[in-house]
Amino acid sequence: MKKLLIAVSVLSLAACSLFQKPVFEEDFNDLAQFQNNWSTKKNKAPGNIIYTADAGVEATGCVKLTSKRPTYLSAKYTVTGLEAGKLYRATAVAKCKNVANGSGAVLFVSKDLNNQIWNAANGLYDTQEWQEVAVTFIADENGEAMICCGLGAPWDGNATTGTAWFDDVKIFEASRKDAYSAESEHQVIVEEELATEEVATEEAAQ
């Protein structure tokens, strides 16, 4: 039997950023807004989450996470008003210094509000300058998602050391044809029933 090959398309970051208007954006240029809307609770994790007014991409505001001990820190924002079950893509600009182990400096969607077991961008490690990171996710049944700018992630084996900065967080609608997120080895299927039906039909034809 011939191997079944399924081609999947991956949403282009450039296209998402250039041609679409975000449904949510945070430039970290308002301290009061950051304090009111972002959760920085550490839950006894070592390290610090700091708002900085002049360390961002254009010497403006950003959020900084730092720890000399293995940790899983994250600044969290619960985005509301999304369409339940719809595919979205969150982007941010991030940089890091002396980041090692675990998930690295990572943008992820918390599973506390989302029905996906895991959904995260590729982590940044070592020392890197500003660059775009992104994660694809599905809004939960209430049209919400908890976006996390993290140093490490709160799952076993993902503790991280070093310093990370995040700026310009945005969320865009993603096309239904982009059925998979390809940021990590974990993939999310949006139209699972349709995909299963197509595979069964092609296998039967072999």
Mean pLDDT computed over every residue of the chain: 80
Encode pLDDT of 158-177 as tens digits: 899 999 999 999 999 987 55
C-alpha–C-alpha distance, residues 135 and 117, integer Å: 14
List, in order, residues 6 or more apart from 151 with CB less than 8 Å away.
47, 65, 66, 67, 71, 72, 73, 74, 99, 104, 105, 106, 160, 162, 163, 164
CATH of the domain at 34: 2.60.120.260
The model's pTM is 0.78
- Is 56 among the domain residues? yes
- Is 201 among the domain residues? no
Backbone phi and psi for residue 55, each to the nearest 5 degrees, phi listed first: -110, 10
pLDDT at position 154 is 83
Q: What is the count of structural domains for the chain?
A: 1
- Is 203 among the domain residues? no
The pLDDT confidence band at residue 17, using thresholds 50, 70 and 90, is low
C-alpha 99 chain-centroid distance: 18
- Is 15 among the domain residues? no
Residue span of the structural domain in which 128 resides: 25-190
Residues across the chain: 206
- Is 10 among the domain residues? no
Encode pLDDT of 107-149 as tens digits: 999 876 655 545 788 899 999 999 999 998 889 889 999 999 9
Is 1's pLDDT higher than 50?
no
Q: Tokens 């081609």 appear where?
A: 7
- DSSP state, 20? -
C-alpha 187 chain-centroid distance: 13
Encode pLDDT of 21-45 as tens digits: 999 999 999 999 999 999 999 989 9
